[in-house]
Amino acid sequence: MKRKPVRTSKSRRRKGTGKSRPKGHERIAPKRPDSVDTIVEASAQALGIPLNPAWREGIAFNLRLILRHAKLVDEFPLPDHIEPAPVFYA
Amino acid sequence: MLDASAADDLAWSTASHLAAEVASGRLSALQVIEATLARIRKRDLLLNSFTAVTEQRARDRARALDRARASGRGSGPLTGVPFAVKNLFDVAGLPTLAGSKINRDNERAQRDAALIERLELAGAVLVGALNMGEYAYDFTGENIHDGPSRNPHDLKRMTGGSSGGSGSAVAGGLVPLALGSDTNGSIRVPSSCCGIFGLKPTYGRLSRARSFAFVASLDHVGLMARTVEDLALAYDAMQGFDPDDPVCVNRITQPVGPLLKRGATGLRIAVAGGYFKPRSAEALQAIDRVAVALGVSRDVGIPQAERARSAAFLITASEGASLHLDRLRSRAKDYDPAVRDRLIAGAMAPASLVVKAHKFRRWYREEMLKLFADVDVILALATPCVAPLIGQQTFMFGDQELPVRANLGIYTQPISFIGLPVVAVPIPLSPLPIAVQIIAAPWREDIALRVAYTLEADGIAAAPRPTI
């Protein structure tokens, strides 16, 4: 039996894109998850917060914002003797 | 019953004027309350500032006050004065909404918030609960469940938040006094957008007992009014230790009413520079007017103000999330999506950096106290711009385009972060007002109120009357 040659995905792509895309209409590659997306996923799991996939982008946006503010705090050198400020009376 | 025009005249009456009229017998408490309720019914269709009107309770209370007066029993300094409260204060018989859908399912409050009890002890009459941003995580006054509270000076504009209903009700002449809360600016921002006076006292001064928390480390309660005298009158009625609020400090009560007329003479006043530099024409005009009126030519740098704001932002995100964790697990879809996303993200903030933010708070406090060895008052804008349009997403901050929701409190956050007392004074620019913060050292509300009173007496600060 003569086997049909297996068409590679590469060759399929070539066939399908005989014409090059007009300039400015390049397909935008889907955003690759970064470390914040990973934190959102893992933290939600650890905290037991069920995540609707539609919320992930908004949560990741806000977490990036929080981390930007946190970086500013983190960069400031504080002496070891400084106590945290919350009020607690024993 | 008053005729319509007399009732409308009462709309812009101050609390002190109404109290004097009732004390003299020229008006009964019931007449004042009926006129107030009629006004709310009519005008709140436009303003959307109330979420509950406690009509029966207010009438019963007013009748009781009138009976007491007729029988010669003593009356308090606020007798017959109507007031309303942001709906995060417990009102007996109502669920405490805190601007949310979720809390509608809660049990009704059994007892009033501590500050309501104190105002009523002084003779004031509660007339209802006010709209607010969901769970107080808001600077806009918009609310997805109840609709936005509207700015009486332009109904298309925001009130500012999160005490948006309080700003709208006072600026719109529905009530002369309203209670609000301020974690990062939620009294001072709506005071600025709506053009009224706001007092955020020192952290720990007024009792937060039986109010719905947001960020325990930063939550303050305070009030809004159309005159400084009214702020002082109500503030004095609410001062005093309360063991029901673990943060409330046991200090001697310091009445400020008798001190107002001492004025600003002799006080060392400076304008906050650097981070607080105005970046819009109206902002510059407002701060200049105040500085010129007070004869201030000195600038002072607030050390690490931007970092202080970031630390407040981080603590808010983390503590707010912690408060809501169980609800985020079980009812996340019932939140305003904008609030939900911020809270869930806050739950993921690194704990080590949140602790560092609390340590930075201590450092910053020490630096600010050093500044107050050299000045008595610092002036800074309350908001970077006048009230944005409802739904507006961004505003121009110099040449930067910033999101409205997160940045209307850019000038208030570094101040409440260490609990300094502030009076927001409205500067009646045309077409829209904007407020300046009068900032004093901890526990010196008297100084901030004296400066505010001077500016009001000189015609520099005033709550403009809207034409609704």
Residues of A in contact with B406 (CB under 8 A): 65
Q: Which regions of B277-345 does DSSP assign to beta strands (E)?
A: 299-300
Instruction: State the pLDDT confidence band at A83, using cuts at 50, 70 and 90.
Output: confident
Span B1-22, average pLDDT: 84
CA gap A77, B428 in Å, rounded: 43
CA gap B227, B125 in Å, rounded: 19
Q: Which of B353, B361, B86 is nearest to B200 (CA)?
A: B86
Q: Is position B206 within any domain? A: yes
Find the largest Cα–Cα distance for chain B: 65
pLDDT at A22 over 50: no
> What count of Cα atoms within 13 Å lies in the side-chain half-sphere of residue A77?
0
Where in the sequence is the domain holding B10, given as residue range(s)? 4-309+349-457
Specify the residue for token string 């610092």: B378
Closest approach of B345 to chain A, Cα-based (Å): 5
CB pairs under 8 A between A and B: 115
CA gap B141, B131 in Å, rounded: 8
Give every strand in the sheet of B422-427, ordered side by side: B50-53, B125-130, B82-86, B177-182, B220-225, B197-200, B422-427, B434-440, B377-381, B269-272, B299-300
Q: Which of B358, B369, B220, B249 is nearest to A89 (CA)?
A: B249
Where in the sequence is the domain holding A68, given as residue range(s)? 33-76
Residues of B in contact with A67 (CB under 8 A): 349
Q: Is position A89 within any domain? A: no
Q: Which regions of B6-59 does DSSP assign to beta strands (E)?
A: 50-53
pLDDT in tens, B390-427: 999 999 999 999 999 989 999 999 999 999 999 999 99
Which has the minimum average pLDDT: A4-8, B151-155, B252-256, B451-455? A4-8
Q: Is position B323 within any domain? A: no
How many structural domains compose chain A?
1
How many structural domains compose chain B?
1
Can you give the CATH number for the domain in which B56 is found?
A: 3.90.1300.10
Span B330-339, average pLDDT: 97
Tell me what pLDDT residue B73 has: 87
CA gap B250, B447 in Å, rounded: 20
Interface test with A, best of B359, B361, B363, B364 (most A CBs within 10 A): B359
pLDDT at B176 over 90: yes
Tell me what pLDDT residue B4 has: 65
Which has the minimum average pLDDT: A83-87, B123-127, B301-305? A83-87
By the 8 A CB rule, do B436 and B425 touch? yes
CA-CA-CA-CA torsion sign (B13, B452, B151, B140): negative
Cβ separation A82–B353 shorter than 8 A: no
CA gap B28, B5 in Å, rounded: 17
Q: Which regions of B284-386 does DSSP assign to beta strands (E)?
A: 299-300, 377-381
Q: Which of B247, B152, B252 is nearest to B203 (CA)?
A: B247
By the 8 A CB rule, do B62 and B56 touch? no
Q: Is position B424 within any domain? A: yes
pLDDT at B17 over 80: yes
B369 shares contact with chain A (CB less than 8 Å) = no
pLDDT in tens, B246-276: 999 999 999 999 999 999 999 999 999 999 9
Specify the residue for token string 């609800």: B327
pLDDT at B286 over 90: yes
Specify the residue for token string 């935008």: A28
Residues of A in contact with B356 (CB under 8 A): 73-74, 78
pTM metric for this prediction = 0.93
Residue B222, beta-bridge partner list? B180
Closest approach of B76 to chain A, Cα-based (Å): 34
Q: Is position A24 within any domain? A: no
Span B325-352, average pLDDT: 97
Helix (H) or strand (E) holding B434: strand B434-440
CA-CA-CA-CA torsion sign (B356, B362, B368, B370): negative
pLDDT at A17 over 70: no
Percent of chain B at pLDDT exceeding 90: 96
Tell me what pLDDT residue A31 has: 64
Q: Is position A61 within any domain? A: yes
Residues in A whose CB is inside 8 Å of some CB of B read: 39-40, 43-44, 47-52, 55, 58-63, 65-70, 72-74, 76, 78, 82-87, 89
Span B274-288, average pLDDT: 96
Closest approach of A30 to chain B, Cα-based (Å): 22
* Cα distance between the two ends of chain A: 87
Tell me what pLDDT residue B330 has: 97
Cβ separation B358–A84 shorter than 8 A: yes
Residues of B in contact with A89 (CB under 8 A): 246
Residue B128, beta-bridge partner list? B53, B84
Residues of A in contact with B393 (CB under 8 A): none
Span B313-329, average pLDDT: 98
Closest approach of A32 to chain B, Cα-based (Å): 20
Which has the minimum average pLDDT: A34-38, B124-128, B192-196, B357-361? A34-38
pLDDT in tens, B373-398: 999 999 999 999 999 999 999 999 99
Q: Which amino acids of B are annotated catalytic?
A: 86, 162, 186
Question: Does residue B118 sit in helix, strand or coil?
Answer: helix
Other C-beta atoms within 10 Å of B399: how many? 6
Cβ separation A59–B350 shorter than 8 A: no
Q: Is position B344 within any domain? A: no
Tell me what pLDDT residue B97 has: 98
pLDDT at A28 over 90: no
Q: Nearest CB to A66: which of B246, B309, B349?
A: B349
CA gap B433, B381 in Å, rounded: 12
Interface test with A, best of B310, B324, B340 (most A CBs within 10 A): B310
Q: Is position B264 within any domain? A: yes
Which has the minimum average pLDDT: A5-9, B307-311, B448-452? A5-9
Residue B126, beta-bridge partner list? B83
Q: In one letter, which amino acid is B241?
A: F
Return the structure tokens found at B24: 């003299």
Q: Is position A39 within any domain? A: yes
Tell me what pLDDT residue A21 has: 46
Q: Nearest CB to A74: which of B356, B358, B362?
A: B356
Tell me what pLDDT residue A29 has: 55
* Geometric angle at alpha carbon B172, from B134 and B12, rounded to 5°: 140
Specify the residue for token string 């349009």: B389
